[in-house]
Structure 1
Amino acid sequence: MKPMREMQTPLLYALLAAGLAVSWQGLYWINGGSALASPGQAVLTLGSMMQTSEFWLHALETGKALLYALLIGLVGGLAAGLLLGVNRMARDVSEPILLNMYAIPKVTLYPLVLLVFGLGLSAKVAFGVMHGIIPIMVFTMNAIRQMRPVLLRAGQSMRLTRRQSLLHIVLPAILPEITAGLRLAFSLTLLGVLIGEMFASQRGLGFLLTNAMNLGDIRTIMAVALLLSVFALACNGGLMWLGRRLSPR
């Protein structure tokens, strides 16, 4: 029999979605169509957009940039977080530096990204990685700090090498925390990719948003925003489910 909490979760999500839809419709009635599209109009506009090949070319461009940025951020952040986290001095010195670096507004660095990577896919990927790699590093280092010391002592008693300890002891022990860091990094990476497309790109969902804003096309803006919101919530829910499955193990 499922726990009561697991049975209530889908109901709570459904109530939350219904509440957001009602609030959205209420704001549409208050502000009018010149400032906001209704939920029904956004869904219809999104449906008509999804029937065109041009929309899927933009969506594929964004998806490709997001996938590359996530892979680079996850592999790079995890590797750096493991190497810094297992060394106490390196962890204590690098963590405040990383947090201060992440506090820098990334938009101010975008001209430098364009200068280094140029226009195109590589610039969007780089901007997405800049947003997502540091949270994964910080979550990994904090997870190693919270590990039970007996696990590392057991590896030393079995005379495991540093590589074996990382792969067979540290990494499995911190998987739930890495999943939590990936949830945050996913949202921030998606934001970075979209900002990159909005600033200097002729493809992608971010470009569609910028073009619609320039034209004053409220329905397209709300349709793309709805799609991105549903996509982000679905991926976040999948990562939450994965984290719950990994925690007991």
Structure 2
Amino acid sequence: MTGTLGFKVARIAVVAAFFLLWEALSRTGAVNPRLLPSASDTLLTLADLLQRASVLNGLAVTGTEVLLAFVMAVPVGAVIGILIAENRYFSDVFKPLLFFAFSIPKSIFLPMFILVLGVGFSQKVGFGFVSTIFIVIMSTTAAVESVKVEHLTVARSYGATPLQTAFRVYLPSMLPVLLEALRIAMIFNMTGVMLAEMYASREGIGHMIANWGENFQMKQLLAGVVLISVIAVIFNELVRWVETRCSHWRT
């Protein structure tokens, strides 16, 4: 408990030091305040933005896109990953292709999504889906392969059914890798959706951030970046909480 408290205090101290340094660089003129508004001004701007209906609507649109892409990509990617890990033929055929596809920057395919799906909701969800699914497939494959053969042998020798094997052996062994995969997958998901909104969109918080940057509205731009960062941290901590609650499942 003491160690956990110490880590939390250290994290808060690092964040506080970051904002104090940011404030000092702007207030002392070490960095041009027009290029880097102070942290306090940025946070005040963020508070003002969160009271605007247009910003709240943009957050709702982006959140819906991110959530839908994530909900679609995770189960589909997990099923494909399990099939690849459990079937030697699929593994030999598709694993090299997956590594090849994963190494390609997905942003180069964004114009194709715009041409096929247009500038709208489906294009952003589709691009978020594609940005996410590869990391889910690869992580699930690694999670399945991390299950120890000895555990499976013991379970089957005691007459465990496939369902019991899945929940008593596979899931506990895979859980740490899967939870880490969820964190990384959400990062890729948010990045994909935000990129799609910035590149070609009429709505969403990414579209607003792009407009603020183009119009040199630095306070609004930095406030938007802080907002997205806070949302990402909240999701990360939520997954961390789930991981803590499920830690007794680990083998």
TM over 0.5: yes
Amino acid at match of 1:59: L
Q: What is residue 21 of structure 2 aligned with on the other side?
A: 23
The alpha carbon displacement at 1:150 in A equals 2.5
In structure 1, how many angstroms separate the alpha carbons of the residues matched to 2:164 and 2:119? Answer: 41
The alpha carbon displacement at 1:190 in A equals 0.4
Aligned residue-pair number: 246
Q: Is the CA contact 2:146–2:173 (under 8 Å) kept in the aligned structure 1?
A: no
Pick closer, same or farther for the CA change 1:154–1:67 going to 2, 3 Å.
same
In the alignment, is residue 231 of structure 1 matched against residue 234 of structure 2?
A: no
Selected match of 1:5 from 3, 15, 32: 3
Q: What is residue 216 of structure 1 aligned with on the other side?
A: 216
In structure 2, how many angstroms separate the alpha carbons of the residues matched to 1:165 and 1:86? Answer: 14
Q: What is residue 90 of structure 1 aligned with on the other side?
A: 90
In structure 1, how many angstroms separate the alpha carbons of the residues matched to 2:223 and 2:52? Answer: 14
Q: What is residue 174 of structure 1 aligned with on the other side?
A: 174
Q: What whole-Å deviation, never above 9, does each CA across 1:187-241 have from its counterpart, x for those lacking one?
A: 1110110000001111111100111112110111011001011111121122123
In structure 2, how many angstroms separate the alpha carbons of the residues matched to 1:156 and 1:83? Answer: 20
Amino acid at match of 2:228: L
Amino acid at match of 1:160: T
Q: Please list every run of 5 or more consecutive structure 2 residues that lacks an aligned counterpart in the other structure.
A: none
TM-score, normalised to structure 1, is: 0.91
Secondary structure of 2:30's counterpart equals helix
Pick closer, same or farther for the CA change 1:156–1:89 going to 2, 3 Å.
farther
Q: What whole-Å deviation, never above 9, does each CA across 1:168-200 have from its counterpart, x for those lacking one?
A: 642343122111001001111101100000011
Q: What is residue 34 of structure 1 aligned with on the other side?
A: 34
Q: Please list every run of 5 or more consecutive structure 1 residues that lacks an aligned counterpart in the other structure.
A: none
In structure 2, how many angstroms separate the alpha carbons of the residues matched to 1:88 and 1:148? Answer: 17
Q: What is residue 81 of structure 1 aligned with on the other side?
A: 81
The alpha carbon displacement at 1:247 in A equals 3.0
The alpha carbon displacement at 1:89 in A equals 4.5
In the alignment, is residue 72 of structure 1 matched against residue 80 of structure 2?
A: no
In structure 2, how many angstroms separate the alpha carbons of the residues matched to 1:233 and 1:39? Answer: 18
In structure 2, how many angstroms separate the alpha carbons of the residues matched to 1:23 and 1:132? Answer: 34
Taking only the aligned residue pairs, the percentage that are identical comes to 27
In structure 2, how many angstroms separate the alpha carbons of the residues matched to 1:89 and 1:56? Answer: 49
